[in-house]
Structure 1
Amino acid sequence: MAACFERHQGKTCMEWVQQVFEDFEESMVEDWCSLLWYFWNERNAHYFNGVKLDEMEIVPRPDMVLQDYQQHQRRGEAVESESSTVAWQKPAAGVVKISTDAGVFPNGGVALGAVGREQEMKFIFAARPQDKR
C-alpha cells in the first residue's frame, strides 16, 4: 500500500481512492475501507462527543466490523446504518466545508461522493469517482 501513496502523490483524493479500488484485490480494499470507516467514526466520536480513542481497539474493532459486513453480504442482508442527529453547520469565513457519503450495494457496487460549500452555503464543487462502464 505504501507504493500506492508514493505513486499517487499530487493526485486528488478521489483519483487516489479510485486507483486503490483498481490496483488492489477485494480483500485488501475491504480492509482498507473498514479502517478508514473506523478512524472516521472515532474522529467524529471524539470531535462531537469527546470520546477518546481506545488504542487497544485500533486493529480488532475494524476487523470485527468488516467480518459483520461480510456475513451480511453472504446472506444478502442489508446492514442498517445509524442516522446522524448532528445538523450541518456553516463553516468559518474563508473555509470550504466538505460533506462526504458512501454506499455499498448488494450487487457489489459502491458509490462515493463529496460536496463542498462555503460560509454562505453556496455550492463550490461536487466529486465522485469516474464510472468506467
Structure 2
Amino acid sequence: MASVATATVRAVKGRRLIPTRAALVLTANAVKKVKQLLEKEPSALGLKVGVRQRGCNGLSYTLNYATEKGKFDEEVIQDGVRVIIDKKAQLTLLGTEMDYVKSKLSEEFVFNNPNIKGTCGCGESFSV
C-alpha cells in the first residue's frame, strides 16, 4: 500500500520538548496538512503513523489513512484532527513533535524526535 505522505526524521539533541500527556505533539503546520489530507478521504477515521523496517539505519515512519483503531493503538486528538499511532510505533514516538515543512525542493512531515540514536544521511530511516 502506498503511503499518504512522505516523512523524514530529525534527531533532536539538547532540546526537551514540552511534556504533555499526548504521545505525539503536532505543530500548527502539521495540523493544517493533516486536515487537508483527511478532507480528501472523508471515510478515514484519521491519519495513522506506523514504523517499518527500511533504509540503511533500520526504521522509517509510515503515514496512511486509518480505517480503524486497533486495540493497542494510541490516539492523539489535537485541534480537531485525529492521529492514530500504531502499537509498534508508540515507543519510538514518545516526546516527538510532528511538523510539516515546505521548501523549494520538497514538502513533507518531519518528526523531531529526542529518542533517536542515529539517522541515515537522507533522514529517511533511524534507530532508537
TM class, shorter-length: under 0.3
Higher relative contact order (CA 8 A, sep 6+): 2
Higher strand share: 2
- Normalized against structure 1, the TM-score is what? 0.24
Larger CA Rg, structure 1 vs 2: 1
- TM-score, normalised to structure 2, is 0.25
Structure number with higher helix proportion: 1
